[in-house]
Amino acid sequence: MPKPMKLMSPTGHLGFTPIEQESFWKGVEQKPDYIIADSGSSDIGPHPLGADESCSPATWQEHDLELMFRASRQLNVPMIVGSASDTGTNRGVDQYADYIKKLARDMGIRELTIAKIYSEVDKQQLLNKMNSQVQVIGLDGRENLTVEQLERTDTIVAVMGAEPIVHALEQGADVVICGRSSDACLFAAPLIKESYPKDIAYYAGKVLECASFCAEPFAGKETVIGTVGGDYIVVEPMSDYQRCTPSSVASHAMYERIDPYREYVPGGYVDMSACVYEAVDERRTRVTGSKFVTSEQYTVKLEGAGKVGERCLMVVGIRDPYVITHLDEAIAWSRKKVKERFGDTGYDVYYHVYGKNGVMGELEPITDIRSHELGIVVEGVAPTLEVAKELTNLAARNFMYARLKNIRGTAGAAAFLSDEVLVARPGYEWTMNHAIPADPMEWFELKIERITHQQKVGTHS
């Protein structure tokens, strides 16, 4: 039986907002065997992936990376970062690796082994697979991938499982910077390397992936420690004000999926239906009973995004109770004026009505609103910035002039937060949420850099 291991999880999304330092350093005092953090998500929408840009400030990413790196060198234990720079593209992997190398030089660290695992997918390589009759399987109700969808895609990443990370650790990596990765697999990898059963390894990954989200009260960016031994994990928060209770740990394990009892990863899924959650004391919970079910066929998930057009915004305020009551008619008027100018196709215009259904859209169950004022974000998307500006302006200004039956007064039923059109980042769409049969290493490139700094700080080879 392998020895008990401590995995430290300081954040659920490295760089999204800075790690809380007090609980982080309390976690370091526990002498974890690994320090691990995920740094990416599809929750941020398709723009960062499609445009290959980070959505997090570089200063926050560097803040978190520096904390993890200093602690890992202090303890002489590996650190693992997944989905580098929000999306896990090759740019993100290089960005993080370059910063780690800079830190190493600044700290005078003489020897360091960095593993970089790239996961960006070449479109032609994928097209060749499709031409050889390999099906790229649609997930969550999507159809299988077509050539037309592939052509609309600007950037593709494959989501790695535990295997490439295990391979990097076996080669002695002190720092592993991963491209797009399954969150749970980042934590499962070192356990699998140390011969832990997959049953508990992948479950541990699921529980620890979002750090303090598995504790109560809710808080982000606080550190938690998971102690894994045999067939169990004990989860403990490092912040003074949080507790890991059976209900908080179980709740976190079940969230973010349609089936609360299954966590899918490359190569199978974690079955949590027989898990037992027991309080060790007021702050810690012990979990047993998880099972890993191996898939008949290993598949790798592919994520892709493509540009739709240039995008502009205007913010409209409505205080007139009559217009609020007849808002659908006012929106219809606005759409009519846009259509008269730009025709039926070649653009998109959206009306996000905050105070009514701005968050949930058509899924909002409350239709009888009592708001005394509404905020409408008008969003226009078009092939060129000039057209996007004009159609957004036209759509927004027509709330001021909407011809509604029985309306009293003259123009002035709408107010603008700003008179000018606000230029937003271009619009992108998810073009790929698919899976492809593959070898666990097939879409991933592992590069090992063994760095030796001379005593004179600032030189390296």
- What's the confidence (pLDDT) of residue 461? 36
258 and 384 assigned to the same domain? no
**Could you tell me if 264 and 328 lie in one domain?**
no
The pLDDT of residue 455 is: 56
Residues 48 and 81 in one domain: yes
In a domain, 12, yes or no: yes
**What span, in angstroms and rounded, lies between the C-alpha atoms of 105 and 114?**
13
- Does any domain span residue 141? no
Q: What is the mean pLDDT of each run of 10 residues along the chain (461 residues)?
A: 92 94 97 96 93 96 98 98 97 98 95 97 97 95 96 98 98 98 97 96 95 90 95 96 96 85 95 96 97 96 98 96 93 96 97 94 90 96 98 95 81 86 97 97 96 60 36
List the one residue out of 262, 312, 320, 255 whose CA is nearest residue 292. 262
Q: What is the pTM of this model?
A: 0.92
List the domain range (segments joined by +) for residue 35.
Answer: 5-119+160-298+439-452
Residue 460 has a pLDDT of 42
In this structure, the answer to whether residues 267 and 413 fall within a common structural domain is no
Residue 129 domain-assigned? Answer: no
Residue 152 lies in a domain: no
Looking at the structure of the chain, the number of domains it has is 2
Residues 313 and 413 in one domain: yes
Question: 270 and 186, same structural domain?
Answer: yes
Both 270 and 315 in a single domain? Answer: no
| Residue 457, domain member (yes or no) | no
Q: How far apart are CA 154 and CA 5, in angstroms?
A: 41
**409 is a domain residue:** yes
CATH number, position 348: 3.30.70.600
Residues 288 and 342 in one domain: no
- Total Cβ atoms within 10 A of residue 259: 12
Assess whether 257 and 313 both reside in one domain: no
Q: Examine the domain organization and report whether 400 and 293 are in the same domain.
A: no
Is residue 144 one of the residues assigned to a domain? no
Q: Domain for residue 138, yes or no?
A: no
Q: Are residues 105 and 236 in the same domain?
A: yes
81 phi and psi, to 5 degrees? -125, 130
The Cα 9–Cα 187 span in angstroms is 9
Is the same domain home to 165 and 313?
no
